[in-house]
Amino acid sequence: MWVLLRFILLCLFFTLARSTWYSSEHRICDPTGTSWIPYSGFKINRQYVVKDLKPPMLHFVSLSHCHQGELDYERLTRTGRETDIEWDKPICMFTSDKLKKLYNTQTNDKSLDDKNDKNDKNDKNANIRLVTDVPHKPHSIDLSHLKPSRVQKRSKLKQGFNEFLRKISSKLRFIEYTDDSLVTNLQNLSPLSYKGFGTGDLDDLKCYKLARRKKYAKREMMIYAPYTWVGGIFECQVSQEAKEHYLKSLQDSRDFIKPFDFRCEGNNSRPLFPLIADDVTNQWIEKERGFTFSQRIPYLYSPGLLDFRYGKPAKALGLKSDTIIFDDHSTHQKSQDALPYDKWTLELEVNEDYHYEANDIDLLTDAVTQSTNLIHHFLKSEHRYSPWEWDIPELIGPDQDSLLYLEQKFFSILGKMKDKKLGSKMVMHLQEHWDNLTLSTEQFRYNGK
């Protein structure tokens, strides 16, 4: 019955959308350029930026919203190499109309004039981006034990990053940035003004909370096979009083943005969509000004009801293990880890406050061990990053055997592989241990679900 209903809806959508087939979608919304249905929903990507092919590489996570193939708005959050999404914090942003208002206000500031503005304005895909910096990075390093030359090198890196901020701030993609120990020299950037905002504008302030399933909440790995059900996205219902207090703090502050710190509880959150793992092999590189390059790696997305991948397990690709590198890792034929169409919210706790039995911890530990061994096996012929891919840990001396270091090297190699099927097979083998993982059951209820 459901298959028939979806087929009818698909035919109806075919009739309504055929006039849009020949219009190109934004690449974030359709990385491969092959989708014949304009995408609407959320996309989460990892983004790596390198300036002048010199270290350090800058790491970001983006939350983007697409509507009918067009990019509505996007929020960039700077992270460290060892950091996944900040799963414990809501992500708040103004909608595109609000961003345009910020842009129109800021373009009158002479300090942001740039000879390339005209070219940027003519780019129909140019969108305003918001960036926030993680206040306390897990890879922060104590400089007291370093030699003077190392301290001087780190200071130069910080100065280079500040210069990078100044340059990209003059483009159409405006930045809201929070000041911390890594970014202190921002005098040449004028803060965005919220003086013209009133309480009537607060309806456009949206806050979202991302949550993983129980078996992924303790997992540090960011690699998932395509179409794996990872978690969900919730909208946090924030009171008008809290929004007004937040707006006032923005108006009174000279920081680029102040964090909106609150807890998104189950009774004030609304489930929106499940989050499905995207295909990491569909990554691409964008050239910015000069020799600045940005690499985008698809991470998660929200599927629509007409998406035929909706509800399929990680083995939906149907690839066979016919490469020698996988001889020691057999592939199970069918995964039972499919996404339930109408009950996906029952398994998700908006703040990932799950209870783990002792057996759950043992199973998770075993899955992590198997995944790490497989990554080591895949990377045995590779020993280091290219110089332009270095981050602070590579410059000062990291633990290069850590799982997240290996994972990032895996992404680096994956982007250079010509055989996409080989990369897809590797990702699927990593996922199979987790597909078969069954932990103790918990259920959660939300208003309207």
Q: Omega before 56 cis (within 30°)? A: yes
Confidence at residue 167, expressed as pLDDT on a 0 to 100 scale: 45
Distance CA 105, CA 120 (A): 17
Start-to-end CA span in the chain (Å): 22
Distances (CA, A) of 84 to 93, 216, 289, 406: 19, 12, 27, 14
Q: Report the alpha-carbon distance of residue 52 to residue 288 in Å, rounded.
A: 10
| pLDDT for the residue numbered 323 | 30
- pLDDT for residue 114: 42
Residue 408 class from Cβ within 10 Å (0-12 exposed, 13-18 middle, 19+ buried)?
Answer: buried
Instruction: Let me know: does 314 contact 225? Beta carbons within 8 Å.
Output: yes
Burial of 374 (0-12, 13-18, 19+ CB in 10 A): buried
Task: Give the three-state DSSP class for 138.
Answer: coil
pLDDT attached to residue 253: 61
Q: Could you give the angle at the alpha carbon of 86 between the alpha carbons of 337 and 67, nearest 5°? A: 70
State how far the Cα of 285 lies from the Cα of 290, in Å rounded to an integer: 14
Question: pTM of the predicted model, to two decimals?
Answer: 0.64
Q: Quick one: pLDDT at residue 378?
A: 62
| Distance (Å, whole) CA 261 – CA 240 | 15
DSSP state of 81: T
Residue corresponding to tokens 């280079």: 160
The b-or-e profile of 3-34 (16+ CB within 10 A means b, else e) is eeebeeeeeeeeeeeeeeeeeebbebbbbeee
**What pLDDT is attached to residue 320?**
32
- For the chain of 449 residues, list the mean pLDDT of each consecutive stretch of 10: 56 47 65 73 85 69 84 77 78 66 44 39 39 34 44 53 44 32 31 64 84 88 81 90 81 58 85 87 73 81 65 35 30 49 84 93 86 66 46 45 51 56 68 82 80
